[in-house]
C-alpha cells in the first residue's frame, strides 16, 4: 500500500539547505511585514481590512513552517550553512517571533475589548427585559402595573 503524501507518517522531501535557507529568509521577511501590517490595522481598529491579509499570512506561515522543518531535528544542516546565512536566518526567526508576540498581544487586547462590549450589551438587554411576575396559576411576561389585586374568600 502506497503512503499518502499528506499522511502524518510521510516525510517531507529533503532539499538543499542553502535553497531552503534562502526561501526562509525571503518568506520570513514577507511574513514579518505582513504581521506588522496586521498589527497596525488592529491597533487602528480597521478589522474589515484584516480579512484580506489572512489568506496570505496562512500561506506564508505554512511555507515558513515547512522550510523550518528541514532544519528541525537535524541541526547539522543548519550548522552546514555559511555563517552569514545562518546568522541572517536566526535573526529573521527572532524578528518573526517578536512580530508574532506583538501581534498576539494586540489580538488579545482586541478580543478582550470585544468581550467587554458584548458583556455590556448583554447586561443592557437583560436590564430592559421585563421581569416575570409569578402567581399561583400563571406567569405574567409583563409586569402588572397600576392594577389592584382582588382577593376572594371562598371559605364562606
Q: What is the Cα–Cα distance from 56 to 61, expressed in whole angstroms? A: 8
Q: What is the pLDDT of residue 2?
A: 42
Q: What is the pLDDT of residue 113?
A: 87
Q: What is the pLDDT of residues 59-97, one digit of tens each?
A: 999 999 998 888 887 888 888 889 999 999 999 999 999
State which residues of the chain have pLDDT below 50.
1-8
Sequence-ordered list of residues with C-beta below 8 angstroms from that of 17, at least 6 positions apart, any chain: 70, 71, 77, 78, 80, 81
Q: Give start and end residues of each alpha helix (H) in 44-129.
A: 47-69, 75-80, 83-128
Q: What is the Cα–Cα distance from 28 to 66, expressed in whole angstroms? A: 12
Is the distance from CB of 26 to CB of 63 less than 8 angstroms? no
- Only one residue has cell 487602528, namely 44
Residue 49 has a CB neighbour count (10 Å cut-off) of: 12
With residues binned 3-state (H G I as helix, E B as strand, rest as coil), the percentages for the chain, rounded to 5, are: 65, 5, 30
Q: What are the sequence ranges of the domains in the chain? A: 17-140
Q: What is the Cα–Cα distance from 89 to 10, expressed in whole angstroms? A: 26
Q: What is the pLDDT of residue 7?
A: 44
Amino acid at each position: 500500500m502506497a503512503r499518502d503524501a499528506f499522511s502524518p507518517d510521510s516525510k517531507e522531501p529533503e532539499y538543499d539547505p542553502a535553497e531552503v535557507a534562502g526561501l526562509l529568509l525571503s518568506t520570513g521577511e514577507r511574513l514579518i511585514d505582513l504581521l506588522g501590517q496586521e498589527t497596525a490595522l488592529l491597533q487602528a481598529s480597521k478589522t474589515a481590512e484584516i480579512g484580506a491579509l489572512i489568506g496570505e499570512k496562512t500561506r506564508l506561515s505554512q511555507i515558513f513552517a515547512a522550510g523550518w522543518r528541514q532544519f528541525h531535528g537535524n541541526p547539522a544542516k543548519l550548522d552546514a550553512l555559511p555563517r552569514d546565512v545562518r546568522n541572517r536566518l536566526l535573526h529573521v526567526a527572532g524578528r518573526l517571533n517578536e512580530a508574532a508576540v506583538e501581534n498576539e498581544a494586540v489580538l488579545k487586547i482586541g478580543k478582550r475589548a470585544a468581550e467587554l462590549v458584548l458583556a455590556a450589551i448583554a447586561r443592557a438587554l437583560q436590564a430592559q427585559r421585563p421581569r416575570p411576575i409569578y402567581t399561583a396559576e400563571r406567569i405574567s411576561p409583563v409586569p402588572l402595573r397600576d392594577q389592584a389585586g382582588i382577593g376572594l374568600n371562598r371559605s364562606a
